[in-house]
Amino acid sequence: MPTRRYVLAAGAAGLLSATAGLIRRANAQAVKKPVHVIVGFPAGGGTDIIARILADRLRGTYAATVLVENKPGAAARLSVEYVKNAEPDGSVMLFTPDFPITVYPHSFRSLNYDPLRDFTPVAPAARSMLTYNVGAGVPESVKTLADFVQRCKANPAKASYGTTAAGGTPHFVGVMLAQEAGVPMTPVHYRGGAPALQDLIGGHVSASINPISESMSFAKAGTIRILAVTGSRRSSFLPEVPTMVEAGYNVVVESWLGVFVPAKTPAEIVAALSAAIGDAVKSSQMIESLAKVGNTTAFQSPAEFAATVKADIARWAPVVKASGFIAED
């Protein structure tokens, strides 16, 4: 699947120049009340970790108080709906991986939000890839993804994999692998990456597909084994792990994690928040913090990010249609 490269700090210069007047006005009207960064997954998961890294950098620049608030439920849709209905004054923002915005419009029969109509995209802050992991329930003799596929063919009852949400990107990575390999694989959906990994470590599920930010520390501790990554090239954080393409399966997925605010949020607030995120992702502290969890910083202007969102929604349509999957709810 095609991937998109993101403009980092260099892209911020044009945005800051073009919106200087708006930003100055927003800074003069700095958000006075506590700002809430809404995350649709439980504390301790990959999205939550990165949201807290970003919140630390926004605190004192965009607002004096920036709090991360976890609102898991309905495969992260509750968090999206919450932000949709929030006051559009810059005090509530959504921090999310791409799939509730780009994949769910195709994988759910109906949504209580429209990602293009109900939100203003502000900026991506990080980009990542996913990992395909096995745990205690899979013998040490399974050393490669091809080994795991062969085990699934021989033991269909054990061909299960955990995902962070039904109808999300990790789910469809599993669907695409199953189609490529020609073997049925059963997804087991969790409310976030942390519980999926707990069951993987406990041997209750054979495999799991997680953001690298969730799986890397467990792999280094030896409690799980990463068989492949979904990037177009190997991760610099896990250079010994092959890509799924290198493993023999044409599955390439790279993801962004970004910030959205409710539609009708004033342009000067959007510009101020975008500028604050741009400053954050340029900071050595955030670059180093994200690197520790296997992510790199990313940045685009609101207009550029909106174009990315629209293109990614279109890109996922044929993938989901080909899978035949439609979520029950």
Residues of the chain with CATH 3.40.190.150: 9-128+256-323
Please report the pLDDT score of residue 53 as a whole number. 96
Reference 8, options 260, 213, 287; nearest CA is 287
Please report the pLDDT score of residue 329 as a whole number. 67
Whether 100 has a pLDDT exceeding 80, the answer reads yes
Q: In angstroms, rounded to a whole number, what is the distance separating the alpha carbons of residues 261 and 181?
A: 40
Q: What is the mean pLDDT of residues 116-122?
A: 98
Q: Are 98 and 67 in contact (CB under 8 A)?
A: no
Q: Are 6 and 298 in contact (CB under 8 A)?
A: yes
What is the tens place of the pLDDT at every residue in 139-182?
Answer: 999 999 999 999 999 999 999 999 988 888 999 999 999 999 99
Token representation of residue 47: 């999205």
> Cβ contacts of residue 168 below 8 Å, gap of 6+?
75, 76, 97, 99, 100, 103, 104, 107
Whether 312 has a pLDDT exceeding 90, the answer reads yes
Residue 161: strand pairing partners: 187, 207
Q: How confident is residue 7, by pLDDT bands cut at 50, 70 and 90?
A: very low
Q: What is the mean pLDDT of residues 230-251?
A: 96
Angle of CA points 258, 15, 56, to nearest 5°: 45
Cα atoms in the Cβ-side hemisphere of radius 13 Å centred on 200: 33
Q: In angstroms, rounded to a whole number, what is the distance separating the alpha carbons of residues 276 and 293?
A: 22
Angular region, 272: left φ>0, alpha ψ -120 to 50, beta rest: alpha
Widest pairwise Cα distance in the chain = 65
Please report the pLDDT score of residue 193 as a whole number. 85
Compute how many other C-beta atoms are within 10 angstroms of the C-beta atom of residue 52: 17
Q: In angstroms, rounded to a whole number, what is the distance separating the alpha carbons of residues 87 and 92?
A: 7
Q: In angstroms, rounded to a whole number, what is the distance separating the alpha carbons of residues 312 and 129?
A: 15
State the DSSP string of 93-143.
EEEEESHHHHTHHHHBS--S--TTTSEEEEEEEEEEEEEEEE-TTS-TT--
Q: DSSP assignment, residue 6?
A: -
Q: Are 134 and 298 in contact (CB under 8 A)?
A: no
Residue 83: strand pairing partners: none
Return the CATH fold of 129-229. Answer: D-Maltodextrin-Binding Protein; domain 2 (3.40.190)
Could you tell me which CATH class the domain 9-128+256-323 is placed in? Answer: alpha beta
pTM as predicted: 0.82
The position carrying tokens 């929030």 is: 86
Residues of the chain with CATH 3.40.190.10: 129-229
Token representation of residue 88: 């559009």
Q: Which helix (H) or strand (E) holds 152?
A: helix 145-154
Q: Is 290 helix (H, G, I), strand (E, B) or coil?
A: helix
> Cβ contacts of residue 108 below 8 Å, gap of 6+?
77, 167, 326, 327, 329
Q: What is the mean pLDDT of residues 289-296?
A: 94
